[in-house]
Structure 1
């Protein structure tokens, strides 16, 4: 049987090889142009947002360091403002540093036990209306303005000791009111991160509940609790309004929290900056017109360094108590 012309022509031509298509893995891993363009655009947006967010912080630190370093010296840290007036090129912040440490330390002594115990109650025992009430008031206290805390402390001591009283203890109470909700919230979060298996294991061994809380829960969450306390102290150490109302202003050193006014770093900065330039006469050779502003910038630098040290200490404590990998 003779082959048809069409079949003969088809048989004479070479069969073209079939190119295999992309595999499923290649389709999933091969980036197309659109996805790469979107990825580059998002990287640019995120990097730009980070740069914009860093501009105020970097400029603030740069200005404070540049302006404050000119005045900062061991003499400035070791003397007070007693006997300094006008445009005298003298005086320092020793009394303000002492007052800040005393008032903030006293506030921490009040706020830390109250905040930690309140958090323990909310996590370990709080199941009724009292726990809901404590949670509600903690949320309310978190958002109150600092001046309200200062007015509360001032009014409380005015009822007890009479109107017009200003001393370090009043300022410590005002700062403690601001610290308590921060300590409660941070401690509560750390306690909730403790695995329930540890609690159940301790209770299964017959350990009382209170002892399990002290020996197991609080020890496990100690690093996070200390970190939260440090951050709470760093939050209130720069408060000005409540201390201006409760502690007042003084130019000499006062180490007694229950007698007389005290100076703190935020109030010192506010007072020096509010006094502005000093009007100096041409014949006053020892008068510096910008001495008040120079002192304010130097004190601001010390305050920034203090807050920075507290934050670094909080990070070191968190790293020290962090659970080791593999445990």
Structure 2
């Protein structure tokens, strides 16, 4: 005979009711509507206040509704999820606002003519002109900085992960940490004093690229170091057990396995230096003429172009500044897409 299960007194009773999937969306809409109503009634005009009140009402509403339907235990879980969603929205809204503002203001001038012409012969209060000289300078300066910083950063990270022990490794790690916090203006002043004032070289795109390489190097080292640490030690041990030398194990096993993360780290470093203005302002000097030689003469760049055009202050110049900012964002986005494609192409293939 089967015995009936008796629930002991005081035992927790688990709720069987569940909120529908659309319930969080309804709570969010109701929170926004209630926030707008409260703000209008109180005479608050700040959109930031409206958003903060709506976020608070969404979290409280999620807890109250879930507690009544599913119980307090599920309500606490729902509150944690709601807080995560609120933080995500608060983080993404400035990014979307920045992108929308740049696109809406820069689209008026951004076209093929703008990308293929320079500012040579164009007055500040005249429409026309373009960003070709600045775009060419940025491409050359970032490319040179990457060619300098990426190999040095990669080899430094390989040394720290695979070989680094003792005082030398600790010293290298310390200086990498120090370089991570160096302001961009300090890197520009260092290259200015050493390369131009002491050695006597002239202002050029190469001088700016060296300052950008100083800023890029610690980012490459740190990101590459973390990616190499994620490679399982079993892969290294298996290769070494087969008699493969350690340097070949690193080149053929470790680095290809972490190539996706390394490429992403390099592109993050490139994105970090592409928008730097202070080193370029000190060392590249800016020019309205097209200069394709980064080793001789003043050169322009996109951040410096945006700074100069916005400083002029005329409506035509401000439109060109917004269009150049849009070009800069598109340039960084294209670089990231190319990097992701290369990382996926070069990633080690696993056979079935």
- TM-score normalised by the shorter chain: which range applies? 0.7 to 0.9
Contact 2:267/2:335 (<8 A) preserved? yes
**1:49 deviation in Å?**
2.3
Q: 1:37 to 1:73 in 2, by over 3 A?
A: same
Moved more, 304-313 or 34-43: 34-43
Q: 1:20 to 1:95 in 2, by over 3 A?
A: same
**1:153 deviation in Å?**
1.2
Please state if 1:89 is matched with 2:134: no
Please state if 1:303 is matched with 2:328: yes
Q: Which of 297, 305, 308 in structure 2 is aligned with 1:268?
A: 305
Please state if 1:294 is matched with 2:319: yes
Contact 2:124/2:317 (<8 A) preserved? no
Partner of 1:197: 234
Partner of 1:236: 273
Q: How many residues align?
A: 297
Q: Distance in 2 between matches of 1:235 and 1:63?
A: 21
Partner of 2:45: none
Q: Could you give the per-residue CA deviations for residues 33-65 of structure 1, whole angstroms, max 9, x where no partner exists? A: 212333343333332222222221111111100
SS in 2 for 1:20: coil
Q: 1:55 to 1:219 in 2, by over 3 A?
A: closer
Partner of 2:104: 66
**1:85 deviation in Å?**
1.4
Greater RCO (CA < 8 Å, at least 6 residues apart) = 1
Contact 2:15/2:71 (<8 A) preserved? no
Contact 1:223/1:320 (<8 A) preserved? no
Partner of 1:8: none
Contact 1:227/1:317 (<8 A) preserved? no
Q: Distance in 2 between matches of 1:206 and 1:39?
A: 52
Q: 1:21 to 1:182 in 2, by over 3 A?
A: same
Query: What is the CA RMSD across the aligned residues, in angstroms?
Result: 2.5
Contact 2:257/2:347 (<8 A) preserved? no
Partner of 2:288: 251
Contact 1:79/1:93 (<8 A) preserved? yes
Contact 2:236/2:249 (<8 A) preserved? yes
**1:20 deviation in Å?**
2.3
Task: Write the mapping of 1:209-224 to structure 2, written as runs, cut at 5 A.
Answer: 209-224=246-261
Q: Distance in 1 between matches of 2:235 and 2:167?
A: 27
Task: Write the mapping of 1:167-206 to structure 2, written as runs, cut at 5 A.
Answer: 167-206=204-243
Q: Could you give the per-residue CA deviations for residues 74-133 of structure 1, whole angstroms, max 9, x where no partner exists? A: 100000011111312121000000000000000000001100110111011111211111
Please state if 1:208 is matched with 2:245: yes
Moved more, 206-215 or 169-178: 206-215
Q: Distance in 1 between matches of 2:321 and 2:86?
A: 33
Q: 1:42 to 1:193 in 2, by over 3 A?
A: closer
Contact 1:107/1:175 (<8 A) preserved? yes
Partner of 1:4: none
**1:310 deviation in Å?**
2.3
SS in 2 for 1:294: helix
Q: Distance in 2 between matches of 1:162 and 1:319?
A: 45
Please state if 1:153 is matched with 2:191: yes
Q: 1:42 to 1:79 in 2, by over 3 A?
A: same
Task: Write the mapping of 1:115-126 to structure 2, written as runs, cut at 5 A.
Answer: 115-126=153-164
Gap regions ≥5 residues in structure 2 = 18-69
Please identify the structure whose Cα radius of gyration is greater: 1
Task: Write the mapping of 1:128-147 to structure 2, written as runs, cut at 5 A.
Answer: 128-147=166-185
SS in 1 for 2:123: coil
Q: Which of 75, 78, 85 in structure 1 is aligned with 2:116?
A: 78
Gap regions ≥5 residues in structure 1 = 1-16, 278-289
